[in-house]
Chain A
């Protein structure tokens, strides 16, 4: 019972024929569309590496069926910025050395974008709570928290 999907990823419309219902959205993005910026770690919603934005909300791509993304507007890490023009949050990750091996980074960035949009992030405790669903084995989280703290401060300045 294969299906035809239409979805928008990072502003580009894709018509994808022959999608099996059991295909995960993470595998559609990586294997079918070739967007390998979204990383697959645990495949059961624990590590957060595959987090993407679906219709503006962060979701686990490994806990979403590709067929559920029919008609959706999706942003992956490739859609946040480019090497020439990083997003503000990406710039702060670079400034604060918020990544080492880079495996968790796409999920951290997408989660950070959603957190910045939805929460005041006035304290480090709040930032750490917000990041608690994303695992990083390199940084000890300190520099990731610092990057998001800086991005939240910039957002506060620009909104006043």
Chain B
């Protein structure tokens, strides 16, 4: 329950951090908030030869509006996102979801770059990145590249980063759908979700014009339910619509069973949350 030995470097610039990581030839790990990496170190499930501590990179801790997007630096703490008035006004689904991200002591340390890199399929920020069509900017020795959130997460706890790349910022386009809902159920408040869904919609008096839907806890990665979005767009709004939406959502996922919940339970749970979320979203705004 104690980490194995490693060397420790604490660079104060991004270029120094990139160089330090490259110099480990795949044996290094970058440390941001440490709220996922430290348990793995304590259990010796990872044994890097070098830890590169990013906490000195103040240049990566920011939340700012850039054109039609909100850009969040990789070292921004969950607590800063939770408190941000910019996030609350431009990305309300993210703002509402933040209190579900673990517990206060974890949110004080954990970072968005760390959470995305860890790629837990039941963590809020990876799901939100997919929900918002975010672009993840990463930097390695050969420079920067942009990765769409949906291609960033490739499997449970697996992202598409090269071993020498570091997440530096996340660009989140500000959506134009102002009616939304976020629903989540976890065994204990703040735990990883058994199932969760985010929904936003645009509507006229009679019709659902468009919808955006993402879910987690029901696959090895967070899911954007684009087929459901296409199926539901243009439908007439009536009392049966949330139930119909719920059925579409349930038929679009195939969760696995694990020790926390059976596959069928997760599917039913997601369906119940979907119905609730659609009812809320249609009535909100």
Chain A residues within CB distance 8 Å of chain B: 1, 3, 20-22, 24, 27, 43-45, 48, 51, 57-60, 62-65, 67-68, 111, 114-115, 118, 128-130, 132-134
Contact = CB atoms under 8 A, between A and B. Distances in A.
Interface string B134-165: 00000000000000000000000000000000
Nearest to A64: B34
Contacts of A118: 104
Interface string B67-81: 000000000000100
The interface centre, meaning the residue of B38, B43, B55, B102 with most chain A CB atoms within 10 A of its CB, is B38
Q: Lowest 6 A-B CB distances belong to which pairs? A: A133-B103, A21-B8, A44-B39, A57-B108, A63-B38, A132-B189
Contacts of B34: 63-65, 68
B190 interface: yes
A145 to B, nearest CB: 13
Given A21-B6, A21-B7, A22-B5, A115 B43 contact: no
Contact of A43 (B1, B79, B189, B191): B1
Contacts of B106: 45, 60, 63, 133
Nearest to A20: B5
Interface residues of B, number: 33
A22 B4 contact: yes
Given A43-B1, A129-B190, 17 more contacts: A21-B5, A21-B6, A22-B5, A22-B6, A24-B3, A44-B39, A44-B42, A57-B79, A58-B104, A59-B108, A60-B105, A63-B35, A63-B106, A65-B8, A132-B190, A133-B105, A133-B190
Contacts of A22: 2-6, 41
Contacts of A129: 99, 189-190
Contacts of A59: 105, 108-109
B129 interface: no
A118 B103 CA distance: 13
Contacts of B51: 21, 65
A132 B188 CA distance: 7
